[in-house]
Homo-oligomer: A and B are copies of this chain.
Amino acid sequence: MTDRNYIERSFDLALRGSGYVSPNPLVGAVIVKDGEVISEGWHEKYGGPHAEANAINNYTGDLSGSTLYCNLEPCCHTNKKTPPCAPLIISSGIKRVVISNLDPNPEVAGKGVSMMQESGIEVVSGILEEKGNELNRFFFKHIKTKQPYVSLKIAASLDGFISTGRDVQTWLTGSESKKYVHSLRASYDAVLVGASTVKVDNPKLNVRETEGRNPIKIVVDGNLSINPDVSLISEEPEKLIIYTSENSNPDKISKLRKMGVTVVPVSSNRDSTLELAKVVADIGSRGLSSLLVEGGANIFSQFVASDLFDDIHLLTAPVLLGSGLNFAPLKNRKELKIKRSQKIGEDQLLLLTK
């Protein structure tokens, strides 16, 4: 087993916190002594102990001379919910620390490494760095830009249609794709749709087809046309945020707020669409580090045209509709790259980046 193998293991452990630790990073830790893994831990939930602390405290024997593998630089700052990890590592007797990524948090940013090195611990960093960056892409983007990592999820026909027409719900992708979408929801902090998707599909936007917690649900509804009877309001109003125009009916805003919904007025563009950059910035300011945009066509087009996305999960069903509503009516051509391609049940997934 090499350093890379143990770092890979720390990635696997880190992923167990997916959906539960945000806006904290996903972190896993492995302690190895005399070639044997003697303890493991991961950051299990926001506010709970860090991965390194869990790994150290899970082991009751002597850690002296052991090596700690951890995908992220151990923390050293004290103005937070849990005690810092670097001093704990130093006092544990661990003699070598191997990490993948430095913590971009300006309060850590190499200081964790320095603190450990100064007390005589050998520190190796940058192992599988790119894969570590990928693992914590939500955290890294949010901590550096205060914006959420934005993914668009599109389910379309082979010929680029999401439905046979405007305001028509069309069944396209299969049950495996549905599971895939629900697993995405479980890993993103928030899921966003436009008002017409709420009207046509009355979606719940929760996690049913897989294990996981429900995300925050967001509706962009310029005219505040949402019907108070929809599932998003009746089922978990406290998990719903509606962005609407500053000119929307104050009585309706009050009524929704009394029902437990968060309503956020935002300024509009000339064409009366909401200023999407402001919506996204507000989402980031709420500590939501990742956003999954689930449609419809107008919303996709706005996110693509305003370049407010990081990647696109395009699920293609093996069907030709022949005509209908195109998934992203745009004024200008947009070049992308295929990062990953994968069969999901009978459908095809393309993961696209800029």
Contact = CB atoms under 8 A, between A and B. Distances in A.
Given A336-B158, A341-B343, A350-B348, A322 B331 contact: yes
Interface residues of A, number: 37
A334 B320 contact: yes
A321 B333 contact: yes
A331 B334 CA distance: 28
Nearest to A159: B160
Interface of A: 156-161, 164, 301, 304, 314, 316, 318-323, 326-338, 341, 343, 346-348, 350, 352
A343 B350 CA distance: 10
A318 B350 CA distance: 9
A251 B34 CA distance: 92
Task: State how many copies of this chain the complex holds.
Answer: 2
Contacts of A350: 158, 316, 318, 348
Contacts of A346: 337-338
B352 A318 contact: yes
B160 A158 contact: yes
A120 B304 CA distance: 71
A337 B347 CA distance: 9
Contact of A319 (B321, B323, B334, B348): B334
A42 to B, nearest CB: 33
A304 B343 CA distance: 24
Given A160-B161, A316-B350, A322-B328, 20 more contacts: A156-B160, A157-B160, A158-B336, A158-B350, A159-B160, A159-B326, A159-B328, A160-B326, A304-B320, A318-B336, A318-B350, A319-B333, A319-B334, A319-B335, A320-B333, A321-B333, A322-B332, A323-B331, A338-B346, A348-B350
A246 to B, nearest CB: 29
A333 B322 contact: yes
A346 B348 CA distance: 16
**Nearest 4 CB-CB pairs, A to B?**
A160-B160, A322-B330, A159-B160, A320-B334
Query: Which of A159, A323, A333, A350: most chain B Cβ within 10 A?
Result: A159
